[in-house]
């Protein structure tokens, strides 16, 4: 019974998400790697901080790794319908964040 309801709910959500997704709007399929530079070193992998980050960005946030003392990289799964641009703007609006950018890939040359 529960399984059936869940499947229906997921299906409805999926349909809704697809219908709402223009190119810039993220889908549930691909979380984004985002690099955040903070104004000071700190415990930016703490659960409490991640919750706050999640609240501010309206996205699922998972800590990946440190880049340096003040720079860290996160996996960010935007809420359905939220564009990448809006997501980055929301993260960048946080007072402790001094820079935000998408974590690009480099290749051997």
Binding site for another protein (CB under 8 A): 33, 35, 37, 45, 64-69, 71-73, 99, 101, 103-109
Q: Which is nearer to another protein, 51 or 62 (CB)?
A: 62
CB of 2 to another protein, least distance (A): 30
In contact, 52 and 46? CB cutoff 8 Å: no
CB of 70 to another protein, least distance (A): 9
What's the CA gap between 67 and 34, in Å, rounded? 11
Angle CA 60–64–65, to nearest 5:
145
List the structure tokens of 25.
């709007």
What's the CA gap between 58 and 15, in Å, rounded? 20
CB of 107 to another protein, least distance (A): 4
List the structure tokens of 26.
């993220």
């Amino acid at each position: 019974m529960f399984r059936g309801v869940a499947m229906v709910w997921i299906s409805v959500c999926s349909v809704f998400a697809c219908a709402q997704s223009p190119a810039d709007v993220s889908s549930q399929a691909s979380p984004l790697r985002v690099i955040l530079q903070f104004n000071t070193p700190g415990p930016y992998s703490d659960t409490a901080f991640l919750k706050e980050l999640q609240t501010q960005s309206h996205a699922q946030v998972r800590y990946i790794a440190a880049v340096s003392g003040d720079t860290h990289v996160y996996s960010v799964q935007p809420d359905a319908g939220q564009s990448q641009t809006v997501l980055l703007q929301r993260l960048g609006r946080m007072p402790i964040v001094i820079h935000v950018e998408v974590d690009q890939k480099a290749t051997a040359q």
